Structure formats: structure tokens, C-alpha cells
């Protein structure tokens, strides 16, 4: 399964593509960060990010798109930009008939590290380890996009569905997902 993970942002938008094989093996296909100029007006910024997303979708032809779910922050303009980019990505995926999945930051962190409260450094280090990279992808938006893609790849086809998860991190992820479903 090929997955495009997106860490949405109006200034920097992380785009990570991974292939997931059997036995939870994942490989890096592509990673980039789409950028827009903060001094441009919002429509031009949306267009710049949309063009980059379209290019990645056309070039790598993922089977699914995974996005970080927009969550409330104190900075309303950041939330607005993130939500606008999420809409752009969802539209591009919809036009290609691709399923879109949304994940909270804690779901992504739990998927790749086993802890929903892991820091950016821990997530980046684990992404590098899982993909066999010599160093963490930079900037953090790139590592986050790959983490989102990995979370979906594991959930979408190779996610553990029982206590037979193969690593401690995967067992914790299964437990976190069960707890989240119980909370409703």
C-alpha cells in the first residue's frame, strides 16, 4: 500500500510517501516540504501548496492520503491556515478517488513511538529508524508527514488487530486505540 502522509501547514506543509509491505515493513518513497511565502495573500499561498500536493499525487500515485487532524490551538490564524490546507489536500484526494484518513497528533505519536505524548525529537528519531534512514528527516514537518503516513499504512493494512502486535510500541498503540474507542 502506498500512502501520502500530510502534515498540513500554510507556510510549511510536510509531504511524505511510504510503501507498506507485509510484516509491517515500510520503505521511503519520497519526502518533501511544500512552502508558501508568508507575505503573499492567502489564495496565492493555498495555490502554491495545492500545486505541490498535486505534483506529489501525480508523480507517486498513492492509494490513500492521511492527514493530521486539525486541533484547536490558541493561535487562531495557525488553525485557520492548517484547516485551509487540509481542505485543499482533501479536495485533491477526492478528485482522484483516494480515501482520506485523519489522525490526531497523539494517534500518530502512539503509532510510531508507542506513546501518544512523545516529543518531536522522539517521533523524528523513530521515523528515521523505521525507514532505515541515517538521520531524521528535516524540517520536523517532513518527519511528521512520514509519521502520519506510517500510522496510516499500519492501520490501513498491516495494523495489529490483537495483542499479537510485534513490538512493544505496536502493543501500546493497540491499547491506546482501544482506550480511545471506549472513551468514544
Residue 181 lies in a domain: no
pTM for this predicted structure: 0.83
Residue 144's H or E segment, with its range, is: helix 140-153
What is the extent of the structural domain holding 20? 2-159
CB burial string 87-96: b at 16+ within 10 A, e below: ebbbebbeee
Per-chain mean pLDDT for the chain: 87
pLDDT score for 131: 96
Give 48-72 pLDDT, tens digit per residue: 999 999 999 999 999 999 999 877 6
Residue 155 lies in a domain: yes
The share of the chain scoring above pLDDT 90, in percent, equals 71
Residue 44 lies in a domain: yes
Give 110-139 pLDDT, tens digit per residue: 999 988 899 999 999 999 999 999 999 999
Residue 120 lies in a domain: yes
Active site residues: 7, 68, 141
Residue 78 lies in a domain: yes
C-alpha span between 116 and 111 (Å, rounded):
8
Q: How many domains does the chain have?
A: 1
CATH of the domain at 7: 3.30.420.10
Residue 183 lies in a domain: no
7 is in an annotated binding site: yes
Residue 8 lies in a domain: yes
Give 71-108 pLDDT, tens digit per residue: 766 667 678 889 999 999 999 999 999 999 999 999 99
63 is in an annotated binding site: no
pLDDT score for 21: 87
pLDDT score for 34: 98
141 is in an annotated binding site: yes
Do 32 and 142 form a contact (C-beta atoms < 8 A)? yes
Residue 179 lies in a domain: no
Amino acid at each position: 500500500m502506498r500512502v501520502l502522509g500530510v502534515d498540513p501547514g500554510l507556510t510549511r506543509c510536510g509531504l511524505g510517501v511510504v510503501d507498506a509491505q507485509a510484516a509491517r515493513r515500510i520503505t521511503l518513497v519520497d519526502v518533501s516540504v511544500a512552502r508558501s511565502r508568508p507575505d503573499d495573500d492567502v489564495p496565492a499561498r493555498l495555490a502554491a501548496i495545492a500545486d505541490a500536493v498535486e505534483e506529489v499525487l501525480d508523480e507517486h500515485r498513492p492509494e490513500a492520503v492521511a492527514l493530521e487532524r486539525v486541533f484547536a490551538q490558541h493561535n487562531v490564524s495557525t488553525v485557520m491556515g492548517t484547516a485551509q490546507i487540509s481542505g485543499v489536500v482533501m479536495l485533491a484526494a477526492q478528485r482522484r478517488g483516494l480515501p482520506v484518513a485523519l489522525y490526531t497528533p497523539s494517534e500518530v505519536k502512539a503509532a510510531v513511538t508507542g506513546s501518544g505524548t512523545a516529543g518531536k525529537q522522539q517521533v523524528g528519531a523513530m521515523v528515521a529508524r523505521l525507514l532505515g534512514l541515517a538521520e531524521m528527516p528535516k524540517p520536523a514537518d517532513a518527519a511528521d508527514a512520514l509519521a502520519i503516513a506510517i500510522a496510516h499504512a499500519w492501520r490501513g493494512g498491516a495494523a495489529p488487530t490483537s495483542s499479537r502486535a510485534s513490538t512493544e510500541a505496536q502493543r501500546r498503540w493497540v491499547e491506546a486505540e482501544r482506550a480511545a474507542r471506549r472513551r468514544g
